[in-house]
Structure 1
Amino acid sequence: MPSPRVLVLRAPGTNCDKETAFAFEQAGATARPVHVRELLANPQLLAEHQVLSIAGGFSYGDDIASGRILGNQLREQLADVLQEFRQADKLVLGICNGFQVLMKTGLLDIDDAEGPQATLAWNDHGRYEARWVRLQVEPGNCVFLQGMDDLEVPIAHAEGKFTVRDQATLDSLAAANRLVLRYNSLSDEGVKTNRPLTLEPQVPFPANPNGASADIAGICDTTGRVLGLMPHPERFLFAHQHPQWTRRGLTGAGAGAKLFENAVAYFK
């Protein structure tokens, strides 16, 4: 079977498109970075691909809010094409700024009649934060996360605090198995920690680097084929990329590689 084709969307200010394309190619896909202007001029480009990945960075300089301008472009000008893409049993991945964009496109099923049920707000301390974090994975039916229960990858963002409208919304997302990634304790003993599902974070800073409600680092849509996450799996494809790789004796692939491998395996 031919390798799945991945469209890696970029815009002015995006700076992780090449790393994301490389990650998919390492996993066996054929990746093509595409500028949003090219996609707006030729929306049928999407039909030639099986995966849409919105890369991290600072699209349009985050001048209004992170991901808002690119998200609005997609929602206002490509809504029908994007929904057709998702309904065709294809995959969508938004990493960091890409997650912020997805939250504004409707592809994550996060809106209702009253508007957005959740958003990504400024980190609690009001600053850009870059560090390694540990994630508890509860994959449910999320294609990208199958076979994973723990993930250690870096984050790099200023507006990554996942905030929901109310407790009922949080409970609804949890009941649908959509809260697939949660910041976890940095210790080995923290894996699969049972924590109350509340609007307040249960893991303190820096393990939860932004104060996200219920320590949420990523969510999926109702189909499991659309994933948005704040951490950067494309930055941990090889063991030697970890800051403690020699101390821990790490070899081979980095933990982030599995996410891209799962996406490629879905089409085989």
Structure 2
Amino acid sequence: MALVKALVITGYGTNCEKESAYAVRQAGADEVNVAYFSDLVSGRIRLDPFNYLIFPGGFLDGDDLGAAQAAALRWRYAKTSEGEPIVSQLERLFASGGVILGICNGFQLLVKLGLLPATDGAYFERQASLGNNDSARFEDRWVQLKANPASPCVFTKDLGVLALPIRHGEGKMVFQDAELMGKVVRENLVALQYVHPETGEPTEEYPFNPNGSPLGIAGLTDPSGRILGLMPHPEAFNHPTNHPGWTRGEHAELGISVLAGGVRYLKAQ
């Protein structure tokens, strides 16, 4: 059974690193570390020992140039003090079988870095973006989600309906063209969708879909299923009392179950 060694990246406006580290530890990771991007540049931390990488939520670089755009450029072009491209370490982590989770701002980063949706194996080639919410304002509320049972995503395997909080201003999925969106749907790279609480079906209706994302897309995976990006915050639902209806006896599966999917996959290797 493989050891699960998780690394949570922080810095430059990230603000959910502690919750993410706690959640993946609760999900069963054997080792959890939190590191600044500057630690990678200095060489104090390398990605090579880790097999579970988390890009948490926050407001990278104040969302200047668009959410996570500056961070995507940083990851693509920054080098260690010894001249090694940081992105090379990221490529090796994924190529060696590691899993990658991007939450909210982390999802925006994965999309703009070109790790999602990566159709036809086009990794590190940007194919999509996440634009401003249709409401033209920051949304902070709980939503209901449904996992796609046909998706290859290791994080959402065997999950059904989830209740999670969202808090973002740029969460609307935007594809470069209709052909790409069709391919993403056909290949079941849509891992999670916002659903209407009464019908349980994917919806574009506000506020159940808080940003107007087409087809109710709330999360994407890549063809391998080992990368997941989602706008809702699974790490923020790590205890039953986090749920807004817990005092009324309302229950839902903890968001930790999403992070646990990655742990189970790695331990099975």
TM-score by length of 2: 0.89
3-state DSSP of counterpart to 2:112: coil
Q: Counterpart amino acid of 1:146?
A: K
- What is the Cα-based RMSD across aligned positions, in Å? 2.0
Q: Per-residue deviation at 1:7?
A: 0.7
Tell me what 1:129 maps to.
139
Query: Which residue of 102, 114, 119 corresponds with 2:110?
Result: 102
Query: CA separation in 2, counterparts of 1:169 and 1:230?
Result: 20
* Structure 1 contact 11–60 (Cα < 8 Å) conserved: no
Query: CA separation in 2, counterparts of 1:215 and 1:48?
Result: 36
Tell me what 2:51 maps to.
50
Tell me what 1:264 maps to.
263
Note if 1:149 corresponds to 2:163. no
* Structure 1 contact 110–118 (Cα < 8 Å) conserved: no
Tell me what 1:24 maps to.
24
How do 1:71-110 and structure 2 match up within 5 A? Answer: 71-77=72-78, 78-110=86-118
Query: CA separation in 1, counterparts of 2:164 and 2:23?
Result: 14
* Structure 2 contact 193–218 (Cα < 8 Å) conserved: yes
Query: CA separation in 1, counterparts of 2:2 and 2:190?
Result: 32
3-state DSSP of counterpart to 1:267: helix
Query: Which residue of 165, 168, 178 corresponds with 2:179?
Result: 168
Note if 1:225 corresponds to 2:235. no
Q: Per-residue deviation at 1:223?
A: 0.4
Query: CA separation in 1, counterparts of 2:266 and 2:216?
Result: 31
Tell me what 1:255 maps to.
254
Identity %: 37
* Structure 2 contact 7–32 (Cα < 8 Å) conserved: yes
1:46-67 alpha-carbon deviations (Å, 9 max, x no partner): 1111111001001111122111
* Structure 1 contact 79–105 (Cα < 8 Å) conserved: no
1:181-204 alpha-carbon deviations (Å, 9 max, x no partner): 1111023xx22x2x6xxxxxx431
Tell me what 1:185 maps to.
196
Q: Counterpart amino acid of 2:102?
A: G
Tell me what 2:4 maps to.
4
Tell me what 1:199 maps to.
none
Q: Per-residue deviation at 1:166?
A: 2.5
Q: Per-residue deviation at 1:145?
A: 0.5
Q: Per-residue deviation at 1:227?
A: 0.5
Tell me what 1:37 maps to.
38
Q: Per-residue deviation at 1:2?
A: 6.3
TM-score by length of 1: 0.89
Tell me what 2:126 maps to.
116
Q: Per-residue deviation at 1:255?
A: 2.3
* Structure 1 contact 136–149 (Cα < 8 Å) conserved: yes
3-state DSSP of counterpart to 2:48: helix
Tell me what 1:15 maps to.
15
